[in-house]
Structure 1
């Protein structure tokens, strides 16, 4: 009987490889430090190499906070309490007043990273954010116009669906680059691990951030646009009756022969017997984050809508983006509030 034990990877070896990668990428932080830089905390270190600067900064941090163990304990308790309390408040707020919660998270996603980037001087992010905001602002203006244009809903869904696709692409590419770097693959391209790691992180962040922001904006715009068309309301009965050959999402006819106004596209009929253009109902569910019929609000079976295996990752990635929202919006608020509390209490 052949034993494969010798071929199995040793978990300790994997941990050592990961730790050695971090040490190589970010420097040996706990290495020796010249004493004169600790005796004089104001002494300039800008002329030193990056590895030594990291060690000196880390050693100065430990020297500054020596003997503050009790203070640090209470700072950790305040942060833990803030995280738990905020999570409870978020859940209650989302269940009781979803509309205001959605508006707050959308504007928080849109503006908080910008404020952080302006303060830190991240001009690349500011430039990309500005381009995204200008184009999305034009799309929103077109979607909220009354009366709404015949082709407007499809253009709106196309824009936000493109954002969703680039989010999936950048997120997956960034993740693969990170995994490839952790496995030591950057050496095959003569690239330093920290450079490859930063590049992968950048791709992953841009994909995730604009994916979350695009979905939140699309959800709000989709509601407003659908209400304007008249086949959908947040609550109650729509004021327009839906014909069997009309798509409730874009208000256009479906597959009618000898009709130039009809959008010729595959019809998709839900279990409630209401029919839609396939692209429209996909945009309604994936981009607009809806899982109910736009007209009668009966639940949509996503398994029937996305039959092909290669289409389901779009839905899975969408759920993943919903989880990331907490880190992008609420985490900075929690940390900022905790730091404000620590400053008020005199903690350092």
Structure 2
């Protein structure tokens, strides 16, 4: 009887698959803040490793969208200014409210509701036919008050931010993040309501001027201007005595036409008109407002025009960019 054959398997040919031990989970909450930020930053780089081409494509889409949108907005503004103005004002009025609703910022919503309520009353009065003689003065007083408040808030916010950058907040024992938050809030309120009030004031200026009859967009005035009649509000101007206090001052332009103080301020500064309401002669704002403390108001008005694009159109442009990313499958 033959003995059983033994088959020897070389040890070097035997492969045993042993699974690697599981990596221990790292609890980031127990690490110091700097170490936690470093690990999160490292994980983000590992996640997006090899995505350089996709990132370059996303940047090109963003730049192209911004460039095309800017051209379209400029052409729209030049060809159809009225519709552009209304669309911009609607965006300025609604878009920040949407973000505040999602963020539950009740303070802004309350102030926005109060501003919208009183401004809607003013706009309603300015668009009535026939237009009462006291309405233009009421409208210009309201918007000029809003303009001065927004200007003051903007200056306060900017001052707080600059003092924080210089470290002066430490003298008052205020943390930099708290001081910067207050500065940004004041600056935002000043710029936002300054732009919004300016747009409403311009619409009211056009509507009231066309109804009063002294001003027309083209051609000669609708009727002759009597002496000591304000061509903006249509009311009689009374020359105040030198010792009289509380009376409204009267401004006379280079064309010799005279206006109430609040009427011409509202027309030139708030309503963004730089021509005489009656004869359309160019108004020299520096000559009309000789006080140097009043001149920054005109510069501030130009700043408000630059902010309008950032608030009204920038969110829409970024929404279009995100939509393009989603359609192309970019993350």
Larger RCO (CA under 8 A, 6+ residues apart): 2
For residue 72 of structure 1, the aligned residue among 43, 52, 55 is 55
The gaps in structure 2 that reach 5 residues or longer are: 1-23, 241-245
Q: 2:321 aligns with which of 329, 338, 346?
A: 338
Q: What TM-score, normalized to structure 2?
A: 0.84
Q: Select the structure that is richer in helix.
A: 1
TM-score scaled by structure 1?
A: 0.80
Aligned-residue offset at 1:334: 1.1
* 1:228 maps to 2:211: yes
Separation (CA, whole Å) in 2 of partners of 1:226 and 1:55: 63
CA deviation after TM superposition for structure 1 residue 207, in Å: 0.5
1:152 aligns with 2:142: no
Partner of 1:205: 188
Q: 237-246 or 195-204, which moves further after superposition?
A: 237-246
State the Cα distance separating 1:245 from its structure 2 match.
2.1
The 1:267/1:342 distance shift into structure 2, 3 A limit, reads same
Equivalent in 123, 126, 129 of residue 109 of structure 2 = 126
What is the count of residue pairs matched by the alignment? 303
By how many angstroms is 1:174 displaced?
0.5
- Aligned residues of 1:186 and 1:193 also touching (Cα < 8 A): yes
Unaligned runs of 5+ in 1: 1-33, 39-44, 258-262
2:259 alignment partner, SS class:
strand
- Conserved in 1, the CA contact under 8 Å of 2:251 and 2:258? yes
CA deviations 1:157-176 (Å, max 9, x no partner) are: 11111111111111111111
Distance (whole Å) between structure 2 residues aligned to residue 150 and residue 48 of structure 1:
71
Structure 1 residue 196 and structure 2 residue 186: aligned? no
Q: Is the 8 A contact 2:141 2:262 kept in 1?
A: no
- Structure 1 match to 2:151: 168
Output one character per residue of 1:195-220: Cα deviation in whole Å (capped at 9) or x when no partner: 11111111111111110111011111
C-alpha distance in 1 between matches for 2:34 and 2:100: 25
Distance 1:72 1:222, change over 3 A: same
Distance 1:50 1:178, change over 3 A: farther
Larger Rg: 2
Q: Take 1:240 and 1:59, find their aligned partners in 2: how far apart are those partners? A: 75
1:164/1:237 Cα in 2 relative to 1: closer, same or farther (>3 Å)? same
Q: Is 1:91 the counterpart of 2:69 in the alignment?
A: no
Deviation at 1:278, TM superposition (A): 2.6
How has the CA–CA distance of structure 1 residues 59 and 232 changed in structure 2, closer, same or farther, with 3 Å as cutoff? Answer: farther
Is 2:19 the counterpart of 1:36?
no
On the 8 A contact 2:249/2:260 being kept in 1, the answer is yes
Structure 1 residues 58 and 157 mapped into 2: Cα distance closer, same or farther (>3 Å)? farther
Give the Cα separation in 2 of the matches to 1:102 and 1:56. 48
State the partner residue of 2:225. 242
- Equivalent residue for 1:268? 251
Following TM superposition, by how much is the alpha carbon of 1:60 offset from its aligned partner in structure 2, in angstroms? 5.0
8 Å CA contact 1:254, 1:265 repeated in 2: no
The alpha-carbon distance between structure 1 residues 213 and 59, as it changes in their structure 2 partners (threshold 3 A), is farther
- What SS is found at the alignment partner of 1:244? coil
What secondary structure does 1:276 align onto?
strand
Alpha-carbon distance in 1 for matches of 2:45, 2:172: 37
1:136 paired residue among 90, 100, 119? 119
Residues of 2 paired with 1:299 and 1:145: CA distance?
Answer: 29
1:282 partner SS = helix
1:306 to 264, 271, 289: 289
Aligned with residue 280 of structure 1, among 257, 263, 266: 263
Please tell me whether the aligned partners of residues 137 and 233 of structure 2 are also in contact (alpha carbons under 8 angstroms): yes
Structure 1 residues 93 and 314 mapped into 2: Cα distance closer, same or farther (>3 Å)?
Answer: same
Secondary structure in structure 1 of the residue aligned to 2:295? helix
Residues in 2 aligned to 1:219 and 1:304: alpha-carbon distance in whole angstroms: 22
2:137, 2:42 → 1: CA distance? 58
Change (3 A) 1:238 1:50: farther
